[in-house]
Amino acid sequence: MRSRKVAMAAATPAKRRLRTHKWKDVDEKRTSELLARPRVDFGAILGTVAPIVEDVRVRGDQALVELTDKFDKAKVALEDIVVDPRTMATPQLPDDVRAAFDVAFDNIAAFHEAQRTPEPTAVVETMPGVRCSRVSRPIEAVGLYVPGGTAVLPSTALMLSVPAAIAGCKVVVMATPPRPDGSITPEVLYCAQKAGVTHLLKAGGAQAVAAMAHGTATCPKVDKIFGPGNQYVTAAKMLLQNSEAMVAIDMPAGPSEVLVVADEGADPVHVAADLLSQAEHGPDSQVVLVALPGVDVDAIEKEVEKLLGELPRGEVAAKAIEHSYAVQVDSVDEAINFSNRYAPEHLIVNVEDAESWLPQLTNAGSIFLGRWTPESVGDYASGTNHVLPTYGYARMYSGVNLDSFQKKITVQSLTRDGLRALGPHVAKMAEVEGLDAHRKAVTLRMESMS
């Protein structure tokens, strides 16, 4: 899930139609074009981001205050740029809003708590006297980017802070753009307090990412940065992970996307709504319909057109539809093959007996099975995480999960007999590689045994 932009007027009356392709008629060159995402010129964006990152590295909090005023149009005092949410008054929220976020918190916590892997009760003895094991440790300091400002995304605050708390991260910095008066959106503050966030950074954009990566007088330096954002946030994360800042990031990210597989029993209204739920994120989002035999694509397009006229962000969604498309396939195997090659951020399988598809689905950020599972539930409150790989990165990246906030450390312990048995083999391998100090670290111990 990525940041929403400011709401726009309803869609223009011009017809918005999905370009439709018959899979059997598509050659490999055209297939490659269909699998490609709308181009993002990160080269040009990095040229804008790099000076911002450097300014924050050099001038710290003062740069943050000035850049927040410039880009977020928010006035924040120098001494107030980073605050401790645990010492702030609990925001007053309507009962139904509070209840919704409480349910989401509980479900996200339950799902991520279940991802704990108990430490092994016994080590693996790979040979007599040679014992190996692995332990988990939390990443000590993490930075969580929560898009905000005119678009409120407290759901992202929960998606990131809840697993950080379960993992046991000691320092949790949450960065989010402040409101014009310098305050934090109440729903975001509520989620931050509920999950035990230790620092709130009142800044957004590349400048917030830079502050968490390098650290400032008031913002702790973190070891890993998480969270979705616009192209400038993504560019800053990618730039800093390859810099002297020594910071990791959760994953590369791009515009939001969804692929919907539908059979003839899928309700066109539901399919249209699912497509638009991602199209409304931004004009650079992409939505794809994979239609099995019997699907009335025209009926779905009519519902898309109707809904576009009803949505406050209809104009944004309509622009996304312009570079989206439908693929008509002749079989389940063709649908699965196309989906796996596309590797969508969100994959909705709106078909009969959707559970039977799961073993063959290999590339997706998150999968939504069946008639009654809209992507929206994963974005908000089913319990799964909505911070997911986009742009085809689901081929090699996972979405954010409990392991994202932990590191695995291997442990080995040898007895005297273990080294006596294993040592000669290690010494010989070191000799082959020409690393004599490695060899001596073994042979000198073995000589001392006699």
Residues with catalytic function: 345-346
207 HSE (CA, 13 A, CB side): 25
Show the CA angle centred on residue 274, arms to residues 235 and 391, nearest 5°. Answer: 25
DSSP code at position 24: G
CB 37 within 8 A of CB 254: yes
Percent of the chain that is helix, strand, coil (3-state, to 5): 45, 15, 40
CA dist., res. 164 & res. 399, Å (int):
14
For residue 337, give the nearest of 393, 272, 279, 259 by alpha carbon.
Answer: 259
Report the first-to-last Cα separation within the chain, whole angstroms: 63
Which helix or strand (DSSP H or E) is residue 141 part of? strand 141-145
Enter the tokens of residue 369.
């099975």
- Give the amino acid at 187: E
- Give the amino acid at 91: P
For residue 186, give the nearest of 97, 105, 106 by alpha carbon.
Answer: 97
CB 250 within 8 A of CB 238: no
